């Protein structure tokens, strides 16, 4: 099994978590990464520039119908849902889900529908439950599910909710997540 896509959801505390996670991934990392970080709808593209300082992988905000390339980090733009279709992304301005647009659930559910067992879902620190339903869908479709250890999360609400609702494959400290992703992608499962 080859994992082609890693979908990551986070809200409160996410910037420092993403900095740590992305900073630990090597330049030859084989899978694409798509990230929903809850943020204000008026925020600019500063998130991509900020995260680029900490990773050797190219980071950019998604444009509608953008092709998915291995080893790239894709960010959901402010105030857009990020959807995965096989081989490319699309953007939507549908109603917020769990008061959020972009919604973690929307990203994870669309990735599960498009990539099934070739996707890894990661839930990091967060202050609400957006992402729990998406992670359950991803697990049901055969994807791998990883959740940050709530005791190591700046905001443990989302990781705790995910662990309570989904029989996740791994609960890891932030420092353990990147090595696990590298192992899964190198080993092909």
Given 79, 130, 149, 155, which residue is catalytic?
Answer: 130
11 is catalytic: yes
Given 11, 98, 110, 155, which residue is catalytic?
Answer: 11
38 is catalytic: yes
Q: Please name the residue ranges forming H helices in 53-145.
A: 104-115, 132-140
Which CA distances in Å does 33 have to 137, 156, 161? 18, 23, 23
Q: What angle, 0 to 180 degrees and rounded to 10, lies between the N-to-C axes of helices 104-115 and 132-140?
A: 10
130 is catalytic: yes
| Rounded (to 5) percent helix, strand, coil in the chain | 35, 25, 40
What's the alpha-carbon Rg for the chain, to the nearest Å?
A: 14
Given 38, 81, 98, 114, which residue is catalytic?
Answer: 38
Enzyme catalytic residues: 11, 38, 130
């Amino acid at each position: 099994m080859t994992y082609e896509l890693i979908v990551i959801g986070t809200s409160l505390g996410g910037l420092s978590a993403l900095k740590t996670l992305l900073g630990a991934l090597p330049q030859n990392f084989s899978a694409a990464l798509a990230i929903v970080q809850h943020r204000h709808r008026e925020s600019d593209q500063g998130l991509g520039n900020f995260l680029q300082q900490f990773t050797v992988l190219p980071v950019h905000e998604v444009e509608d119908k953008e092709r998915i390339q291995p080893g790239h980090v894709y960010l959901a733009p402010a105030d857009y849902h990020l959807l995965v279709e096989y081989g490319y992304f699309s953007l939507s301005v549908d109603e917020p889900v769990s008061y959020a647009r972009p919604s973690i659930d929307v990203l994870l559910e669309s990735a599960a529908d498009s990539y099934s067992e070739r996707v890894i879902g990661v839930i990091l620190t967060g202050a609400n439950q957006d992402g729990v339903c998406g992670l359950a869908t991803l697990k049901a479709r055969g994807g791998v599910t990883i959740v940050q250890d709530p005791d190591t999360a700046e905001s443990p609400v989302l990781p705790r909710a995910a662990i309570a609702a989904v029989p996740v494959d791994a609960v890891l400290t932030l420092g353990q997540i990147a090595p696990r992703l590298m192992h899964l992608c190198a080993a092909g499962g």
